[in-house]
Structure 1
Amino acid sequence: MISAAIGLLQRHGLAAMSFTDVLAESGAARGAIYHHFPGGKQQLALEAARRNAEDVRGHLHELPSGTPRDVVEVFLDNVRPVVQASAAGGGCAVAAVTVDGGAAITDQGRLRTVATEAFTGWTDELEGKLTQAGMSPSQAAELATLMITTLEGAHILCRAAGSIAPFDRAAGALLSLVPRKGRSDSHG
């Protein structure tokens, strides 16, 4: 049910995600959703966003840390299919919980907290990789933030355009900030 909810959040956002759709996609019985998620849609959305955040952080943890450019290039290669899905109507399940969830959501603050923790965790993971690759902690923090901002912005721009072109332009600009070879304390 959580996997189904992640997919629905990515495709339709929080306000449009319904238990009926989760049940249809997951094949679970109606009683199961109320048993596992007595807090309703909000609880399911929280759990889906947390799971998606953990999955993404796990992928980021696996990135190499050879050079800062290696980190950025592999990050861009790894997120490209995700952004391509956005161009076809997808999105980020974590970002989806940061916008209005409609009347069924009574505590938007908890959802935003989960999103903040997710984005911070992703940024921290990238910052660690960039620091290991030779960047100063402050520059690694700036570049990691830019990488996550590029990813999240690409979801929106590519979905609106129905094309990966905005991501490709942003990826080129991001790569232009990172030296081609060697370990560096600079990204500009």
Structure 2
Amino acid sequence: MAADTKSRMISAAIGLLQRHGLAAMSFTDVLAESGAARGAIYHHFPGGKQQLALEAARRNAEDVRGHLHELPARTPREVVEAFLGNVRPVVQASAEGGGCAVAAVTVDGGAANADQSSLRTVAADAFTGWGDELAGKLTHAGMSSSQAADLATLMIVTLEGAHILCRAAGSIAPFDRAAAALLSGLPSPG
């Protein structure tokens, strides 16, 4: 039961980070969304908001990496198309006011310097892991390691940039333009 409560709190924190960012994420909102009792806060997160944000970002990063691991990898184009198709609903949520929980702990200036260093490290590890997963898929699909690493980085930058541009525009159009440009640099199928 305790693990379930902690898991629900982390899930609530992920959603709050995506919608409001780190500075606006409050324990009151986490408790309301998770259904946890007030006493659960420091029982599960003795490090306070910092610990909760770190654990939420880590879990979100692991979840995303798991989704990336499931992408098909027969051709580089197939990897990119599957990636774009899988992230499109997430970017659509950004156009409607959402965002990336991992990016939220990176860019939010609400924490002290030591806190920001830990948060940036979690985010850097997440983005590196996502890039490694994509690069592995692209290498398996026939690209050189160097080309695969470059394209994987471009894919992550496209995703994270789309979160910001689509939220600002209130539209998924920036993502669609970036996706088309990303695909235009790959050989056509057949």
TM-score normalised by structure 1 residue count: 0.94
Which letter does structure 1 place at the counterpart of 2:15?
G
* Distance apart, 1:101 and its partner CA: 4.3
* 1:96-111 equivalence runs, <5 A: 96-102=104-110, 106-111=114-119
Is 1:41–1:105's contact at 8 Å kept on the other side of the alignment? no
* 1:86-101 equivalence runs, <5 A: 86-101=94-109
Which letter does structure 2 place at the counterpart of 1:56?
V
Is 2:131–2:152's contact at 8 Å kept on the other side of the alignment? yes
Runs of 4+ in 1 over 3 A off after TM superposition: 103-106
**1:14 pairs with one of 22, 26, 51:** 22
Query: Does residue 165 in structure 1 map to residue 173 in structure 2?
Result: yes
Query: Does residue 48 in structure 1 map to residue 89 in structure 2?
Result: no
User: Residue 186 of structure 1 corresponds to which residue in structure 2?
Assistant: none
- CA RMSD across the alignment: 1.2
* Distance apart, 1:106 and its partner CA: 5.0
User: Residue 78 of structure 1 corresponds to which residue in structure 2?
Assistant: 86
Worse-matched range after superposition: 106-115 or 5-14: 106-115
Residues 72 and 154 of structure 1: CA distance in aligned 2, closer, same or farther (over 3 Å) = same
| 3-state SS, counterpart of residue 107 of structure 1 | helix
CA distance in 2, matches of 1:101, 1:28: 27
CA distance in 2, matches of 1:95, 1:103: 14
Equivalent pairs: percent with the same residue?
Answer: 87
Is 1:53–1:94's contact at 8 Å kept on the other side of the alignment? yes
Structure with the higher fraction of residues in helix conformation = 2
* Distance apart, 1:102 and its partner CA: 1.7
User: Residue 128 of structure 1 corresponds to which residue in structure 2?
Assistant: 136
CA distance in 1, matches of 2:173, 2:63: 26
Which letter does structure 1 place at the counterpart of 2:92?
Q
Instruction: Return 5+ residue gaps in structure 2 as ranges.
Output: 1-8
User: Residue 23 of structure 1 corresponds to which residue in structure 2?
Assistant: 31
Q: Deviations over 1:129-155 (max 9, x none)?
A: 000000011000000000000000000
* Distance apart, 1:180 and its partner CA: 1.5
* Distance apart, 1:33 and its partner CA: 1.3
Q: Deviations over 1:6-50 (max 9, x none)?
A: 000000000100000000100000000110001000000000000
**1:143 pairs with one of 151, 166, 187:** 151
* Distance apart, 1:99 and its partner CA: 1.8
Which letter does structure 2 place at the counterpart of 1:10?
Q
Is 1:50–1:114's contact at 8 Å kept on the other side of the alignment? yes
| 3-state SS, counterpart of residue 102 of structure 1 | coil
* Distance apart, 1:104 and its partner CA: 6.9
